[in-house]
Amino acid sequence: SQKIEQNSEALNIQEGKTATLTCNYTNYSPAYLQWYRQDPGRGPVFLLLIRENEKEKRKERLKVTFDTTLKQSLFHITASQPADSATYLCAVELTGGGNKLTFGTGTQLKVEL
């Protein structure tokens, strides 16, 4: 069955360091992959989208890579700040399309002073 996996353990890093989060998928060949941020008790907020023919995408301090051979996406936050603390979700479109996304369980990031 199709599955998206993110590290369920929280990631604690020091302010200023680069945070790297991983998203692995199986039994998928997604045309694109998306990353969202979710704060406690709030709806997710779209961050970045990367297509299968793109190796890397950047937006300000964010960088996403997409390795279709490894079936993996990495999400990087450089020069991390306490305000970056949140849960980060990756998502891919379900087979059959229609813009229906399936989400990973998310990884909680905590940036400490």
Measured distance CA(55)–CA(105) in Å, rounded: 23
Shortest Å, Cβ 90 to other proteins: 10
Shortest Å, Cβ 94 to other proteins: 8
Shortest Å, Cβ 48 to other proteins: 9
Choosing from 11, 61, 102, 110, the residue that interacts with other proteins (CB under 8 A) is 102
> Cα 17 from chain centroid?
18
Choosing from 7, 22, 24, 103, the residue that interacts with other proteins (CB under 8 A) is 103
Structure tokens at 24: 């692995």
Q: Which residues of 48-80 are buried (b: 16+ CB within 10 A; e: fewer)?
A: bebeeeeeebeeeebbbbbeeeebbbbbbbeeb
| Binding-site ranges for other proteins (CB under 8 A) | 31-32, 34, 36, 41-46, 49, 51, 89, 91, 93-94, 98-106
